[in-house]
């Protein structure tokens, strides 16, 4: 997903905050080199963007890979973070998640992009959402296919996902932190979010019953309500 995945949040968030969404390197409208991909580099990209826009401090929210980038930002520069939201997050790819990322990488190497996304969506969305919103699901697949993402960029991004490890540094995070996860998240299951919560002192966790990996898209009304409540404290 590119920055358009935040569309439903911007509508509500912008009533209270100036909202800035962007594409990570190699995604959407942001160029990138497939030889230069890591969570740390993407965090540096965000810090450079903040400098360019003269933003001194902000609330940070990231979904999936974006949550790992947000972890890295607050560890590097806690002084610029008002609060932190980590959605569908992880700090280690040991076990299931590592196997899943390796499977995605292997599928990308062997399949056409459309074939890959037809399979990939099964990790991101719940059966209920797919049953109730078939046209939206197809639109999401078509959007991803039509953006013509480079296979090399996608593989490099999944390698960055796979290589992310922050378990030994999460205890450095002291800003207000909210973690959310869907109970039916097949991309990064509940246990991985709980690991993160246990390592960040004072952090909170919300589990969306029967929610998937992108529960901000599946259930935007409740997601926006809970996350805004957190930011507006």
Domain ranges across the chain? 3-231
pLDDT at 34: 55
Q: Name the band, by pLDDT with cuts 50, 70 and 90, for residue 150.
A: confident
Q: Name the band, by pLDDT with cuts 50, 70 and 90, for residue 31.
A: low
Q: Got the DSSP string for 101-122? A: HHHHHHHHHHS-HHHHHHHHHH
pLDDT at 4: 74
pLDDT at 105: 97
Q: Name the band, by pLDDT with cuts 50, 70 and 90, for residue 37.
A: confident
pLDDT at 147: 77
What digits encode the pLDDT tens for the residues 152-176?
888 989 999 999 999 999 999 999 9
What does the DSSP 8-state code read for residue 219?
A: S
Count of positions (residues) in the chain: 233
Mean pLDDT of 210-227: 96
Q: Which pTM value belongs to this model?
A: 0.93
Mean pLDDT of 128-146: 93
Instruction: Provide the token pair at 59.
Output: 């609330």
Mean pLDDT of 38-65: 95
What digits encode the pLDDT tens for the residues 7-21?
899 999 999 999 999
CATH architecture for the domain at 3-231 = 3-Layer(aba) Sandwich (3.40)
List of long-range contacts for 223-227, beta carbons under 8 Å, 24+ apart: 223/8, 223/9, 223/180, 224/8, 224/9, 224/12, 224/13, 226/180, 227/9, 227/61, 227/85, 227/178, 227/180
What digits encode the pLDDT tens for the residues 56-109?
999 999 999 999 999 999 999 999 999 999 999 999 999 999 999 999 999 999
């Amino acid at each position: 997903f590119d920055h358009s995945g935040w569309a439903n949040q911007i509508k509500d968030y912008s009533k209270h905050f100036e909202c800035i969404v962007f594409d990570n390197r190699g995604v959407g409208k942001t160029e990138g080199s497939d030889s230069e991909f890591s969570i740390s580099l993407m965090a540096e990209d965000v810090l450079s963007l903040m400098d360019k826009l003269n933003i001194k401090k902000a609330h940070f929210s990231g979904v999936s890979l974006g949550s790992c980038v947000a972890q890295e930002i607050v560890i590097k520069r806690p002084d610029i973070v008002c609060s932190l939201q980590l959605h569908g997050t992880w700090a280690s790819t040991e076990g299931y998640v590592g196997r899943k990322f390796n499977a995605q990488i292997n599928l990308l190497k062997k399949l056409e992009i459309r074939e890959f996304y037809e399979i990939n969506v099964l990790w991101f969305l719940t059966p209920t959402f797919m049953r109730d919103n078939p046209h939206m699901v197809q639109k999401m697949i078509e959007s991803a296919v039509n953006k013509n993402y480079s296979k090399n960029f996608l593989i490099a991004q999944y390698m960055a996902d796979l290589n992310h490890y922050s378990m030994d540094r999460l205890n450095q995070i002291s800003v207000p932190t909210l973690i959310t996860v869907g109970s039916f998240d097949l991309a990064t299951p509940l246990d991985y979010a709980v690991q993160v919560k246990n390592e960040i002192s004072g952090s909170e966790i919300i589990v969306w019953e029967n929610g998937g990996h992108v529960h901000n898209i599946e259930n935007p009304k409740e997601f926006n309500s809970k996350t805004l409540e957190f930011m507006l404290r």
